[in-house]
Structure 1
């Protein structure tokens, strides 16, 4: 009987130790997720993700160039979230190029006209972002986000997107995200989670 109590005690201790360790690992993993899992590297979490997205885009008859614009837009957003002015400049320049490459020929005449106007405006803001300090980058990102949202309304998207909104920045400002979790590009580390999802775009 005494041996049984000892064995039961040992088993209970082992179980508690394992539980504590697994919780610790889960917490560490979650912290890593929150700290480093931006949408830039989230995209390539496995080897097939990008090709899967391209295939989805083709299967649903979406504009591949529009998907490329979104990818560059999200990289820019993540740089602003991270308060990284140099990266934001770099991705602003990349985005300017991908915006200029959008093929509008598969759309109706009316949509083509609208898309050309949207792209012209977006290119201007992407260019400003590529040359400006952080405060100005964020000002231009607000209007750029509206342009990209307007573009998606015409081109569609291969993935679910979330339109998020910060009531604090410039009397209220929106942006697009691939993740439901709010990471504010207008305030970065200052107010990282300020905002809410106001619309889901499929």
Structure 2
């Protein structure tokens, strides 16, 4: 009888060990399955990230193409206007360092203007306009904000005189501030007044005095 009890106890222990082993194997398999699932998800995320990266590269490629197209306009009065408006916006934003950078850029665009297609009289007038405009653009590239705005007034007159000869592909608006330096004008592509002479101090001071087509 005693031996039977011992045998039964050993059998019970053996069954328990087998059960634990089976359960352990199931848990290990489940854990492994979870790891596989996680690995799959990570791979999918990596692939998605790679796709986004490729799309990002594609976007930058488009930007580069656009920049190349703009660069191809070198020598064109429209490029001068583009740089002029960027400079105007920097002055509106009271951004001295940006205005310096854009003043230098505008000076280069002005120097590169191709006058070959104009009459001799127009060439002579354009050369005088460009020479004066370059001087003021260069001063803007190295001056504090107050002086930048003084030079921008004369630069704006030069660019307006240039447009009178070259024409423009866009509708422009000549705007006028009666308060700055006894009255000062500038060009804009929008009817909405954003004053480059006072910036945030008197942002909306001025009016449209002429539309240029």
Tell me the TM-score normalized by structure 2: 0.66
For residue 143 of structure 1, what is the aligned residue in structure 2? 154
For residue 127 of structure 2, what is the aligned residue in structure 1? 116
What SS does structure 1 have at the residue aligned with 2:141? helix
Structure 2, unmatched stretches of 5+, are: 1-62
Q: Within the alignment, does 1:164 sit opposite 2:205 as a pair?
A: no
Q: Within the alignment, does 1:187 sit opposite 2:198 as a pair?
A: yes
2:195 and 2:188 mapped to 1: Cα distance? 10
Tell me the TM-score normalized by structure 1: 0.69
**Alpha carbons of structure 1 residues 100 and 64: separation in structure 2 relative to 1, 3 Å:** closer
For residue 101 of structure 2, what is the aligned residue in structure 1? 90
Which structure has more relative contact order (CA 8 Å, sep 6+)? It is 1
Which one has a bigger Cα radius of gyration? 2
Shift of 1:197: 0.2
What SS does structure 2 have at the residue aligned with 1:131? coil
1:54-111 residue CA offsets vs partner (Å, 9 max, x unmatched): 8xxx9xxxx9610000000000000000000000000000000000000001000000
What SS does structure 2 have at the residue aligned with 1:197? strand
1:193 and 1:66 mapped to 2: Cα distance? 28
1:26-50 residue CA offsets vs partner (Å, 9 max, x unmatched): xxxxxxxxxxxxxxxxxxxxx8xx7
Shift of 1:189: 0.1
1:165 and 1:64 mapped to 2: Cα distance? 29
1:175 and 1:190 mapped to 2: Cα distance? 17
Q: Alignment partner for residue 76 of structure 1, among 81, 87, 99?
A: 87
1:126 and 1:64 mapped to 2: Cα distance? 17
For residue 187 of structure 2, what is the aligned residue in structure 1? 176
2:191 and 2:98 mapped to 1: Cα distance? 23
Is the contact between residue 174 and residue 209 of structure 2 (CA under 8 Å) also seen in structure 1? yes
1:87 and 1:164 mapped to 2: Cα distance? 22
What SS does structure 1 have at the residue aligned with 2:187? strand
**Alpha carbons of structure 1 residues 120 and 64: separation in structure 2 relative to 1, 3 Å:** closer
